[in-house]
Amino acid sequence: MTPRTTARTQVPLEDFEELARTAPETVRLEFIDGKVEVKPVPDGNHGEIAMWLLEQCMQQRPDLRLYLERGLKVETCRRGRARPDGSLVPRKHFAGQGEWADPEGVLMTVEITSRDADTDRRDRWEKRDGYAAADIPVYLLVDRERCVVTVHTEPKQGEYRSIITRSFGEKVELRDPVGIVLETEELKEFAD
C-alpha cells in the first residue's frame, strides 16, 4: 500500500466536466486524485480482455450488465471522475443518468492495464483508491504486465481491506454481490 498524499486540484470540477464534454470523440478524459488525466486508447489485447470479461458476466449473471467506459463519480464526496474499463451493474441501472453517473449500485469496477507509463500509478493506486472511497464493493484489476488478476473487496474508509491476487490460468472467484467465477486460462493469450 502506498502512502496517501493530499493532491492539489488543477482545475475546478465544473471546468473539468465542461472540458470533458467538449473534448473530441477520440479523447477520453478523467479527473483522478485532483488531476486531469487522458485515458489511453486501448490496444487489441486490451479490447479482447474486455470482451472476454463481458461474455463471462453475461453467461453467469444475465441479470447484470458490464458497461464499458461508463463515466462514474468517484473518490471522497464524489469529487473525481473516472471511466473504468468496465462497470458491472443491474440491468437498466444507468438509464436516465448523465455522462457522469453516481456509483451507488455499481457492484464492480474493472481496469485492464495498458502499455503506458502511467498505468502503475493510475490503475494500481489512484483509481483503486477512488473506487474504494466511492464504496464500490469489488474492484477487479486485470494486470497484463504482471500476468495476474487482483480482486479488491471490502471497501472501508477509502481503502479495500481484502486483496486477493491470482496468476493468469488460475480460477478467480468474485463473491457476492458479483457471484461470478472466472476461468482465466485464456488471459495468457493477451498478456502482451
Q: What order do you get walking across the sheet with 148-156 strand by strand?
A: 64-67, 86-90, 108-112, 138-143, 148-156, 159-167
Domains of the chain, residue spans: 32-190
| Closest alpha carbon to 149 in 40, 59, 71, 53 | 53
- CATH class for the region spanning 32-190: alpha beta
Predicted structure pTM score: 0.81
pLDDT, tens digit, 9 for 90 and up, residues 105-158: 999 999 998 876 666 566 677 889 999 999 999 999 999 989 999 999 999 999
C-alpha to C-alpha distance for 75 and 81, rounded to whole angstroms: 8
Query: Which positions ≥6 away from 10 have C-beta within 8 Å?
Result: 34, 35, 36
Per-residue pLDDT tens listing for the chain (192 residues) = 444 444 445 677 777 777 777 777 766 776 777 777 776 667 789 899 999 999 999 999 999 999 998 999 997 766 789 889 999 999 999 999 988 999 999 999 999 988 766 665 666 778 899 999 999 999 999 999 899 999 999 999 999 999 999 999 999 999 999 999 999 999 999 986
